[in-house]
Amino acid sequence: MSEVSIKNKIHKSLEKMDASQLQSAWQVLQALFNQQKYTNIKVDEPALEKKISKGITQLEKGEGTDFGTFLNEIHADYGSR
């Protein structure tokens, strides 16, 4: 199927959608764009494994943070998105 054909089908579908469906479609498109934005990020797996291991060790020692406290800190830093 050609690019023009796909765009036409999308356009026709958008014309039939109500506000709620359009909002959902917009969220899907945003998720697709965000996914593409992060596909080229390189992960330093050894460093990540080391951090995970350190976190597990801290949890085993009872040094973890309460999940509610964590969420409150995230909300304070980043707000609700």
Q: Which helix (H) or strand (E) holds 74?
A: helix 67-78
18 and 25 Cβ atoms separated by less than 8 Å? no
pTM for this structure? 0.42
The model's pLDDT over 30-78, given as tens digits with 9 standing for 90+, comes to 988 888 777 777 888 999 999 999 989 988 898 888 888 888 888 888 8
pLDDT at residue 80 in the model: 62
39-60: string of b/e by CB count within 10 Å (b at 16+)? eeeeeeeeeeeeeeeeeeeeee
At 43 the pLDDT is 83
